[in-house]
Structure 1
Amino acid sequence: MQTKPLAAVTGASSGIGLELAKQFTENGFDVIEAVDVDLSTPEGVERFYAQVSATGRPLDAIAINAGIGQGGPFATSDLDTDLRIVDLNVRSSVHLAKLAVRDMVARGAGRILFTSSIAATQPGPFEAVYAASKAFLLSFSEALREELKDSGVTVTALMPGPTDTNFFDRAGMQDTRVGASDSKDDPAQVAKQGFEALMKGKDHVVAGSVTNRLMAGAAKVTPETVKARMHRGMSEPGSGDRED
């Protein structure tokens, strides 16, 4: 009996991850979602992938999407949260990718989607650790893509801009200009664009509004110091209360 292809999605309880899970389901995949494991720990990653392996089925696609952020000055931000951002956004992504890539390369087929961000294209004052983690994911995904180009495994980076999820509430960024903005992108649209890019085997997709694509394009020719100053205007605490 022919079975549906199998996909796994992390961070699928809400936001972009939930919408990615819907995209896979609506397009004929069975989906495994991480619900009861802490992916910021190695044990949590191993437990999650054990759930995948327990199906006895090949993993056709994985969306490595789980992530968190924290706003505010690095000098006074909570160190444990900073390190948890590294553990979840970076370490767990590498760990989970290692497990998935080994199996996919051995089989000669598979698709991997990393949720990065347009924040990866610029320094991120007042969310410095988060932006750096997303820059890591973009670089990591592009490097893996080149390594795996003849393996049958594709790697795609999803790069959303500000999206209408609970990210800004959780990160304590409600009073920033970006957090207070009412023009955030629809997570369903972002996920659809990410899914379509994954299925086409694209290297990356800047999802959401045209503004996001313009920002990502401009970032290629803008000095890092200028980008950092521009980002500060969006992410500095209290910037949401300022008039232009």
Structure 2
Amino acid sequence: MSERKLALVTGASSGIGREIAQLAAADGYDLIVAADETLVDSAAGLAANGVDVESVEADLSTAAGVERLLAAASGRPIDVLVANAGHGLGRGFLDQDVAEWRHVIDTNITGTLLLLQPVLKQMAARGQGKVLITGSIAGHLAGSFQAVYNGSKAFVDSFAAAIGNELKDSGVTITCLKPGPTDTNFFARAGMLDTKVGQSEKDDPADVAKTGWDAMKDGEHVVVHGLKNKAQVLASGVLSEAQTAEMHRKQAEPGSGQS
């Protein structure tokens, strides 16, 4: 068995998750990387860092998918958990299929908690461990035309802060990374390429990943990536939900983009 520490990273096939996995590998962690799509190319690149990499293709919106992922650890303690898997969904709520919005909730909330609880129990029993949860500045905004997604991220942001407080004397730290719009597959998968936010300039996922990874290593409770995003979070604290909903509408309403 490897003497290296073990990091488990979800949503690792692309974007922020893949970049975090690269940082973990560069820091010498063996990896379990998970996503709901193939990880063959990503896993090969990570292994080039001289660490062991196991890829798991699993639907983390389901209990069976989470159990399959946890089984991949084969009893090894998980030293770092990066709960990054998430699913977005654009368009008006009345235009969304029930299966679509349920998948957002099941991935972003239920699946995340099903993964966090057993790993955190193990970490707390050992008195050590670090967790990085990908929340979003979307959790601070009433998300017109992204209502279920933003609501799910409001839950994640709040939950991360709460369990971080519960575990403050345990030796386990919880860090919530709150990115803004990032140059990933998110907007294509959410059906939002015709929106203003979908066509806007976005943050580099490698930069966002480093912000989160460094904050996690330092044991910070929360980190917002980028000055523009920090300003938006501050503004949301003084605006009403009706005002942030109208602001969000201008960014996310279908057809609001330039093309």
Give the TM-score range, shorter chain. Answer: over 0.9
Which secondary structure does the structure 1 equivalent of 2:194 belong to? coil
**Whole-angstrom distance in 1 between the partners of 2:214 and 2:101:** 32
**Whole-angstrom distance in 1 between the partners of 2:130 and 2:238:** 31
**Whole-angstrom distance in 1 between the partners of 2:111 and 2:60:** 6
> Is 2:195 the partner of 1:195?
no
Which residue pairs with 2:90 in the alignment?
Answer: 71
> Is 2:252 the partner of 1:227?
no
Of 118, 127, 136, 1:117 maps to 136
Which secondary structure does the structure 1 equivalent of 2:16 belong to? helix
C-alpha RMSD of the superposition: 1.3
Of 83, 106, 111, 1:92 maps to 111
| Aligned pairs for 1:162-241 within 5 A | 162-181=181-200, 183-207=201-225, 209-241=226-258
Which residue pairs with 1:26 in the alignment?
Answer: 26
**Whole-angstrom distance in 2 between the partners of 1:37 and 1:238:** 33
Which residue pairs with 2:68 in the alignment?
Answer: 47
> Is 2:63 the partner of 1:58?
no
Structure 2 residue ranges without an equivalent (≥5): 35-55
Q: TM-score, normalised by structure 1?
A: 0.95
The Cα of 1:223 is off from its aligned counterpart by 1.3
Structure 1 residue ranges without an equivalent (≥5): none
The Cα of 1:57 is off from its aligned counterpart by 2.4
Q: TM-score, normalised by structure 2?
A: 0.89
The Cα of 1:38 is off from its aligned counterpart by 1.2
- Count of residues in Structure 1 that have an aligned counterpart in Structure 2: 238
**Whole-angstrom distance in 2 between the partners of 1:170 and 1:210:** 26
**Whole-angstrom distance in 2 between the partners of 1:57 and 1:79:** 38
Which secondary structure does the structure 1 equivalent of 2:144 belong to? coil
Runs of 4+ in 1 over 4 A off after TM superposition: none
> Percent identity of the aligned residues?
50
